[in-house]
Structure 1
Amino acid sequence: MNSDFVRLSARRPIICLVTDRRRLSPGAVLDRQLNDLIALVVAAVKAGIEIVQVRERDLSRRKLNSLVARCVEASGDSGTRVVVNDGADVALATGAAGVHLREDSIASERVRTLGGHNWLLSRALHDPSKVPGKSSTLDYMLFGTVFPTVSKGVGCPLGGLGGLREATKRAHVPVLAIGGVTESRLEDLWRAGAAGIAGIGLFIESAQLHFDWAVGLTGLVRRVRRSFDTV
């Protein structure tokens, strides 16, 4: 396990922004979408968000490499880590902090051999019965979809708070809640055992409430931490 992340995870909640350039800038041309996404990452860094997960699966490898490299550059020497969805090769090429794996992706042990102990490794989890054992090389997991969300559409199976609660009881690493996360649901997620949150819409909406996106995200981060600290 990444020793830096052990220290990070001790400071709950862990906050993870997942990217979606189309939801951020619907209808814009690709270059504008990518530039806007970088602006959001810059705002996330200023707000102190711990993890930015680049989830732009339809981009060519060349475009994705360029995007992730720009995100890594934007994070600088801050505490924000940039990870890539199922892209160990991209993470290696760009100096990203690690990789997020789909539930049905390759074993984390294989990915760990590529990136070493310094990489952050996470995996999506939809079924609490599939929580990896103690020997897993994962640093954290994202459980969902907890609540309905436009990212998954109608008919997407929901894990619900019960599933989240079971996953957090079984897991040996921090579990972040993802899917339909809103500020009004933070207390429920905390009580179900979530170590933090991950999401798309919550961050985009909060950022775009302000002309300066960093102001919007800073306010959100403050409210999330307050909710988890005081419940």
Structure 2
Amino acid sequence: MAGIFQLVTDHARLGPPQSAEALDALVALVAAAGEAGIDLVQVREPSLSDEALFRLVERLVARTPPNCRILVNERFDIALAAGASGVHLRASSLAASRVRRVLPPGFLIGRSVHTTTEIRAACRDAAVDYLLFGMVFPSASKASGHPAVGIAALGAAVRASNVPVLAIGGITVERIPQVAEVGAAGVAAIGWLTDAARRGTLPSELSAARQSFRTGATDLR
């Protein structure tokens, strides 16, 4: 595999929030993204109830190929119950080692980080499979409350980590070479990947983007 590509979901981009229309559209979009070669899907839907989130994750797991792994933001209980492949933790969440105790072997754990201090803490915890670092570039898709830190900070994050680092924030296909050049293992995106999937151009854009990454250097376990 050359590069790790993670789609972060936002059903409200596809229709009225919490509507059947938007959720159905999201399931179809994620299914298409999985067929196009997306490696990870982070289900980040904080506005949904527990029941609605569970049902959504079940549908996504059923509609995606084995090469596309579904992770649930923060809710490892729902991820487990719905048959997902992993969980993505916030920077302020429980230590990954504590979460790992209740998870089956092979269950992926990702974590958001914003500083080298958070990166070192996550690596000392020795239980995460990858880190998501940003915001790297300014983004209209994800209001995180964190300023864009730039490509040099991403390079420093990569050097501080002993697990794969994915870049998030303002990711476009044109910026992929910069991200790969500083050693990032891949990228996560809402806007670019969602829009490309809706246009039907995701397979070709992913294929082009993967050319920037060295084959085999960015695999997750």
TM over 0.5: yes
- Which shifted more, 98-107 or 160-169? 160-169
Is 1:227 aligned with 2:212? yes
**1:135 offset after TM fit, Å?**
4.6
1:80-124 CA-to-partner distances (Å, cap 9, x unmatched) read 100000001101111110100000000101111111321000000
Q: 2:21 aligns with which of 14, 26, 32?
A: 32
Q: 1:154 to 1:79 in 2, by over 3 A?
A: closer
Partner of 1:59: 48
**1:155 offset after TM fit, Å?**
6.4
**1:133 offset after TM fit, Å?**
2.8
**1:62 offset after TM fit, Å?**
0.3
CA RMSD of aligned residues (A): 1.8
Is 1:49 aligned with 2:49? no
Q: Which is richer in helix?
A: 1
- The 1-side partners of 2:143 and 2:102 are apart by 34
- The 2-side partners of 1:181 and 1:192 are apart by 14
1:160-218 CA-to-partner distances (Å, cap 9, x unmatched) read 112111110011110000110011111111112110011010012212223xxxxx221
Partner of 2:162: 172
| Structure 1: runs of 5 or more not aligned | 1-10, 211-215
**1:159 offset after TM fit, Å?**
2.4
Partner of 1:22: 12
Q: Which letter does structure 2 place at the counterpart of 1:218?
A: P
- The 2-side partners of 1:65 and 1:105 are apart by 20
Contact 2:108-2:129 at 8 Å conserved across structures:
yes
TM-score by length of 1: 0.87
- The 2-side partners of 1:146 and 1:12 are apart by 21
What count of residue pairs does the alignment treat as equivalent?
213
Q: 2:136 aligns with which of 146, 171, 196?
A: 146
- The 2-side partners of 1:92 and 1:44 are apart by 22
Aligned counterparts, 1:1-12, within 5 A: 11-12=1-2
Q: 1:109 to 1:153 in 2, by over 3 A?
A: closer
Partner of 1:197: 187
Contact 2:29-2:198 at 8 Å conserved across structures:
no
- Among the aligned pairs, what percent are the same residue? 41
TM-score by length of 2: 0.90
Q: 1:104 to 1:28 in 2, by over 3 A?
A: closer
**1:52 offset after TM fit, Å?**
0.8
Contact 2:2-2:211 at 8 Å conserved across structures:
no
Q: Which letter does structure 2 place at the counterpart of 1:42?
A: A
- The 2-side partners of 1:196 and 1:183 are apart by 12
- The 1-side partners of 2:140 and 2:133 are apart by 17
- The 2-side partners of 1:154 and 1:48 are apart by 27
Partner of 1:97: 85
Partner of 1:5: none
Partner of 1:218: 203
Q: Which letter does structure 1 place at the counterpart of 2:187?
A: I
